[in-house]
Structure 1
């Protein structure tokens, strides 16, 4: 079996690739929209055919890549029948099997974080994927989306802690860089519900977490209730023929500071900040042309149309809007500098006219 653990740094989401090496059939668990092209590139390099994406629940912190991957690869979409999501090809029930070649995952209902959460157990019970139910030395939160701390306690004890102690557990998230745990470890050391802690202990612990809501919840939940479907199919937008770009759910091509620095000689930089910012302490990228955002539509004729163009601002918001303006003006190859000059400087990239 082929197994890969992938991460989306922005949301700290783990995506899992499992594939049968003989048949080359593959499954992706909890894919992320912005990483869809990364995932398809890996599938292509490994010579795999994606047959199914599975979301362990309706996520609140990122948009699923299920719909996008279906458009790119023809894969089917699966999610719990209790999720109330629309647009899936399979609605999973406890005990259902999700095959890939000669291997399969078995569905276990593990509500608590949401009412539609599931965990997935590999056929030989050597591995389980716990979504946002059981995390490494922690658990998912239970304070929104039909969350229920007592249901989560029972889910973990009845569905996950009953697996062999050696079963490796892979969560959908970790915010400390931890990657894997085991049933035996969590039974003993999980500070929320391991050892002799009871259901009342757990409910009291969860009641006092007082966590802020996920920043993307207002975007992610409605999109994920449609399995990640976007209003406009991004696969119908021509891909730029220059490397290092990522397509975001907002419909914007972005380039990282590292990729841009490697390609500076071949692109033109349009800085859409105000003049005092352009000449200010953050500095500017070498050879950048200043056209403030408010003047961009009128001055678009000053930009070469036959060269790739990267728009830049302080943090990436105004320059994202600039890509839309230039695309509407007919520019074929436009990308936004992810994180703007703040990220550019934080990564120590080359600048002109900057303060120490």
Structure 2
């Protein structure tokens, strides 16, 4: 049975979510349709640009993404505190980057005077916009709407392009976050769309590696891609906003994982694994299992077994599904 969206997203439990949106029926997002011979590869850039453009407007950070032939993956971090800190004017300015707003908001942004009644109405509207600017549902809807319009215009047709609902998985701890990001970044390699992470077009890992090549200190947040959530190193007392890993560790981890899961190459498992696996207490074999079948093995909540049980109540769930898989792969 389909779960209500409020049972899949709870910012009090975690700000990190893995979302997947797929095309309906045989609709092709990108790549070459073997049946018709049509090449839709250029649409991949539409999705990538829209994800990164909306992230600049929303209080939502992009941790990882991969644009595939008939679906795309994003790993998002919702920054509710940032949205709540915005002034009314900043909320309106951000909303106007996407929509025209209304007569009151247009007058407000031009610094025209509004009487008390008009200001009261506008404040209510602004608070609604504020909430929508840190809503994953709104974020995913705007990605899909924009791409669907362009695709339907190009195909000279109308009708639904995407499935009605996107898939959402809550990532409850560092182990789940690292595993999911690696799973997303390696999607093109598993689908034989690319041979290496740095050659996998329209992915976050390629964007990070390209920037790292031209940086003197790639592990420093300010020298990483500005449109992606930065890696800020291992957790510590004064932890800045960002992913709780070192960029170098993560890139090495993705590269090592990619070599192990390739179907046409057996590759041995090295003894000197990246530090990130040791710190997260994840066994080599369990890690490979997680990053190969992430969507299949896990449902809504992903993390260590006891964390899933604790957070289930926050999500309004009477019973947390997938606890057994989480305990087996991440530990209890």
Query: Do they fold alike, i.e. is TM over 0.5?
Result: no
After TM superposition, the score normalised by the length of structure 1 is 0.25
Higher helix share: 2
**TM-score, normalised on structure 2?**
0.26
Q: Say which structure, 1 or 2, has more relative contact order (CA 8 Å, 6+ apart).
A: 2
Greater radius of gyration (CA): 1
Task: Indicate the structure with greater strand content.
Answer: 1
